[in-house]
Amino acid sequence: MTRHGTTLLAAMALTAALSASTGARAAEPANTETPDVVEARAEFVRGNELAKTTQWAQALAAFERSFELRPHPLTTYNMAVCERALGQLAKARPLFAAAIASGEKDASQFPPSRLEEARAYLGEIEAALVRVEVAIDPPDALLGVDGRPLVATAGEAGVEAVAGLAKPGQPEKAPAPKFVLVTDPGTHVFRVVAKGYQDVLVTKSFAPGQRTTLDLALARLPATVRITSDVASPIVTVDGADVGLAPVQVSRPAGTYRIVVRKEGFETFDTRVAMNPGQEVDLPTKLPPERIPITKRWWFWGAALGAVAGGVALTYAVTRPDPAPPPYSGGTTGWVVAPR
C-alpha cells in the first residue's frame, strides 16, 4: 500500500472511531460529564481534525492528552494509527494489541469493525518489524539503541528486547548475552559500553521485515603504567624487554608484568605489577646509591694482597733453616771442639 493510501485509510479509521466515541458519549447522562471528560472529548476531536490533514505528530499529542484524561480503547486505537503513520511500528504494536484485547473483552467499548482493522494493522506491523539476533560480549556490557535503553519482553523464541519504547537515556545492561532485538526498519545507532573495554558505536540499516544477526564484541582496553624515577634516565625493562629511559609510559594488555629499573652506581628496583583492562598505574621508583660490600672494594683486595705477600715472607723467614756455620779452624794443633 502506498503512503498516501495508508494515510487516507488511517484518517478514515480515526473518523469512524470519533463517530463511535461521540455516539457512546451521547448515551451518557449530561450530569455525569466531569471537566476531564469534556476536555478529553475536545482533545479527541482536535486529534481527529489534525489526522485528517496528516499532521500525525500533533494528532498523536492530542490523543495522548485525551487518553490521559479519560482512557478509552478507541483513543488507544487512534494513538496506534498515528504511531504507525509516523513509522514508529514498535510503539504502534503494543497500542494495537491493547485495543484488540479491550475489544475482545467488551465489544461495546470497541466496535467489531475497528477490531478487525486493528488485527490487520497488527499483522502488518509484525511482518514489517526487524528482528536481530544480538550476541554481546562481555555479557555485562551496557547497550543502547538510538539514545535509548531497551525494553525487555518475553518473546516466542526466548529473551526479546524492543528498541524505541523507553525514554531517552543512558545504555543499560543487555537482557542476556544473546537475545532477539525487535526494532523499526531504517537506520539505527548501537552504543555498547563496558568497564575496561573500548566504547563502540555501530550504525546499521535494516529493511522492513529483515531477519539478521549482529555480533557486538568489545575490544579490551590496554592497561597503562607510567614509570618515573628519583634519578635521571635509568633503564626500564618490562618482562625483560627494554622500553626506554624513565620517565616512560607503557601500554600492555591486562596482566601481571615484571618491571625492572636500573642504573649503574645505584641499587636496582625490581617489582611485579598486576593491571586490569583499562587501568592506569603510576609507578614512582627510588634508586638509592649502590652500597658496595667491603669485600668488593678494590682497595680492600689490594691491601689484602699486600698482607698476604708480607705474611708469606714472614712465614718463610720464620720457618727457613739456619745456614750452616763456616768450618771451625783447628789452629796450629788442628784440634776442633764440636759442641754437644
Question: What secondary structure does DSSP assign to 296-308, as a single string?
Answer: G-HHHHHHHHHHH
Does 340 map to a domain? no
Nearest residue to 131 via CA among 155, 97, 98: 155
Radius of gyration of the chain from its Cα atoms, rounded to whole angstroms: 47
The total domain count for the chain is 3
Residues 305 and 246 in one domain: yes
pLDDT at residue 196, rounded to an integer: 87
Tens digits of per-residue pLDDT, 88-136?
A: 999 999 999 999 999 999 888 888 989 999 999 999 999 999 999 999 9
Domain region containing 174: 130-217
Residues 276 and 201 in one domain: no
pLDDT tens string 218-259:
988 888 999 999 999 999 999 999 999 999 999 988 899 999
The pLDDT-based confidence of 180 (bands split at 50, 70, 90) is very high
Mean pLDDT of 142-169: 88
CB-based contacts of 172, cutoff 8 Å, min separation 6: 142, 143, 144, 149, 150
- Read off the CATH number of the domain in which 288 is found: 2.60.40.1120
If asked whether residues 35 and 102 sit together in one domain, one would say: yes
DSSP string across 319-330: HSPPPPPPPPP-
Asked if 211 and 250 sit in the same domain, the reply is: no
Strand, coil or helix: 51: helix
Are the C-beta atoms of residues 84 and 10 closer than 8 Å to each other? Answer: yes
CA–CA distance, 336 with 328 (Å, rounded to integer):
7
Q: State the angle between helix axes of 35-52 and 56-69 in degrees (0 to 180), rounded to the nearest 10.
A: 160
* Statement: the pTM of the whole predicted model exceeds 0.75: no
The mean pLDDT value for 136-140 works out to 92
What's the start-to-end Cα distance of the chain, in Å?
149
Write 91-98 long-range contacts (CB < 8 A, 24+). Answer: 91/164, 91/165, 92/121, 92/125, 93/122, 93/125, 93/126, 93/129, 94/165, 96/121, 96/122, 96/125, 97/122, 98/73
Q: Specify if 327 maps to a domain.
A: no
303 vs 82, more confident: 82
Q: Is the pLDDT of residue 294 over 80?
A: no
With respect to residue 322, please indicate whether it lies within any of the assigned structural domains: no
In a domain, 333, yes or no: no
Instruction: Judge whether residue 147 has pLDDT over 80.
Output: yes
Q: Are strands 241-245 and 269-275 parallel, antiparallel or unpaired?
A: unpaired
Within a domain: residue 61? Answer: yes
Highest mean pLDDT among 46-50, 250-254, 294-298: 46-50
Residue 325 has a pLDDT of 58
The mean pLDDT value for 29-46 works out to 84
Cis peptide before 112 (omega within 30 of 0): no
